[in-house]
Amino acid sequence: MTRIVIVGGGLSGCLAALALAERRPEVDFLLVEGENALGGQHVWSFFDTDIGPEIRWLLDGVPITRWANHEVRFPRRNRVLGLGYNSLKSVDLDAAVRKLVPPERISLRRRVSQVEANAVTLEDGERIAAEAVIEARGPGTTDGIELGWQKFVGRTYRFAHPHGRSRPVIMDATVEQSDGYRFVYSLPFTSTELLVEDTYYSTSPALDDAAIGAGLDAQLAKLAPGPAEQVEQERGVLPVLLGGSVDALWNEGAAVPRLGLRGGFFHPTTGYSLPDAVRNAVLLADQAELSTAALYDLFHQRARRLWKERKYFQLLNRMLFHGADPAGRYRVLEHFYRLPEPVIGRFYAGELTAADKVRILSGRPPVPITRAVSALFRRAA
């Protein structure tokens, strides 16, 4: 019998496998992924302040691109911040897992048709019994939760000559506003490789890949003129939490522990999931009791605690989505970026102090005061 089956070879499943391989090599586990590669086609990012040094060891063997600072641009505010920014490509995550996890503990091209508390059944009919099953296959149901969406299409371009960009621009909201709050995001991975994403904070998860992708070529010409070829494309639709109970995510299907978006482990405003995925993977490796029941209780209670601690972010999200007209949502972020860097760092890390929360809402409101107050205290549908 396999001791642990991790269902899903995305970010959370891969980091869980890396943590077990590093800290608990005696534990028999199997990482099951339906595709031929791990991680999909994604770029995951985080700030230096998102992950403490005590758990950063998990990423030591994973190739990470780091920039010492980053930039934001708005119609009335441009700013370079000295917060280090980091990005991980799925292709590099795939390579790291294959290198650091024993090959017999990785099973690719094996789609799971049924998940139970102590077994998984594959589409070919094989049934794998286990002492613990962990569900890490990405988002599941959203019933009972009110969400907005951060959605994007990104393309990576390779230039014949250096493109001249030296640091990430994580928000350029000087572009035409449409379908909610819109900004262009760019990461210079090398002197000749540049990722450009067109991103929208929208009330709809619908994403017109072709139309947005075509517009990226025009954005590229403004960012870095010169001959370039497209080498990769990615898309994403991330949740922005407005209200609801995390238990809605945990009441679906079998009573098994959940990681990643399926378990509600993401930043309520940015949708970033890597910091929570690192913390959960380290927590998993630290457990003496590795049964399905024990891990279910551990991660379910953790999800509940985090949603309670991060309730403030739901208030801010409702102000963004309900308190501002779509074309004026950028003003909420423009106003936010007046704050000192330490406050901004704690915001992205999800670790705001009481004083931070007051400070974020201080000053002249970026949206009409009556709508802002109404949105802040609007009950989730």
Is the sign of the CA dihedral 77, 78, 84, 88 positive or negative?
positive
Residues 6+ apart with CB under 8 A from 309: 350
Cα dist from 200 to 64, 179, 180, 205, whole Å: 26, 7, 6, 10
**Residues 86 and 62: beta-carbon distance below 8 Å:** no
Q: Output the six-digit token pair for 8.
A: 């899903």
- Mean pLDDT score of the chain: 92
Cβ count within 10 A of residue 57: 13
In this prediction, residue 225 carries a pLDDT of: 82
Round to whole Å and give the CA distance between 283 and 76: 43
pLDDT digits (tens, 9 = 90+) for 345-377: 999 999 999 999 999 988 776 665 555 556 555
In the chain, the percentage of residues whose pLDDT exceeds 70 is: 95
In this prediction, residue 373 carries a pLDDT of: 57
Cβ count within 10 A of residue 308: 9
Phi-psi region of 73 (alpha: psi -120 to 50; beta: other; left: phi over 0): beta
Residue 198, pLDDT > 50, answer yes
**Residues 318 and 376: beta-carbon distance below 8 Å:** yes
β-pairing verdict for 85-89 and 43-47: antiparallel
Long-range CB contacts for residues 164-169, cutoff 8 Å, separation at least 24 = 164/224, 165/194, 165/223, 165/224, 167/67, 167/68, 167/69, 167/70, 167/71, 167/80, 168/67, 168/70, 168/71, 168/85, 168/87, 169/70, 169/71, 169/72, 169/73
Q: What would you report as the CA-atom Rg of the chain, rounded to the nearest whole angstrom?
A: 21
Of the candidates 271, 376, 269, 366, the one whose C-alpha atom is nearest the C-alpha of residue 324 is 366
In this prediction, residue 381 carries a pLDDT of: 40
Residue for token pair 């995925």 = 277
Task: Give the mean pLDDT of 149-162.
Answer: 94
Residue 124, pLDDT > 90, answer yes
**Residues 13 and 31: beta-carbon distance below 8 Å:** yes
Round to whole Å and give the CA distance between 153 and 139: 18
Residue 117, pLDDT > 90, answer yes
Round to whole Å and give the CA distance between 220 and 175: 13
Q: For the ranges 150-159, 311-320, 363-372, which has the lowest average pLDDT?
A: 363-372
Q: For the ranges 67-81, 272-286, 309-323, which has the lowest average pLDDT?
A: 309-323
DSSP element (H, E) containing 30: strand 29-32
pLDDT digits (tens, 9 = 90+) for 209-253: 888 988 888 888 888 888 889 999 999 999 999 999 999 999 888
Task: Give the mean pLDDT of 275-282.
Answer: 98
What are phi and psi for residue 220, nearest 5 degrees?
Answer: -60, -40
- Please tell me the pTM assigned to this model: 0.93
Q: What is the residue type of 173?
A: A
Round to whole Å and give the CA distance between 314 and 328: 19
β-pairing verdict for 70-74 and 169-172: parallel
**Residues 19 and 62: beta-carbon distance below 8 Å:** no
- pLDDT band per the 50, 70, 90 thresholds, residue 1: low
- pLDDT band per the 50, 70, 90 thresholds, residue 144: confident
Residue 174, pLDDT > 50, answer yes
Cβ count within 10 A of residue 6: 30
In this prediction, residue 377 carries a pLDDT of: 59
Virtual CA dihedral for 46, 48, 54, 58, nearest 10 degrees?
40
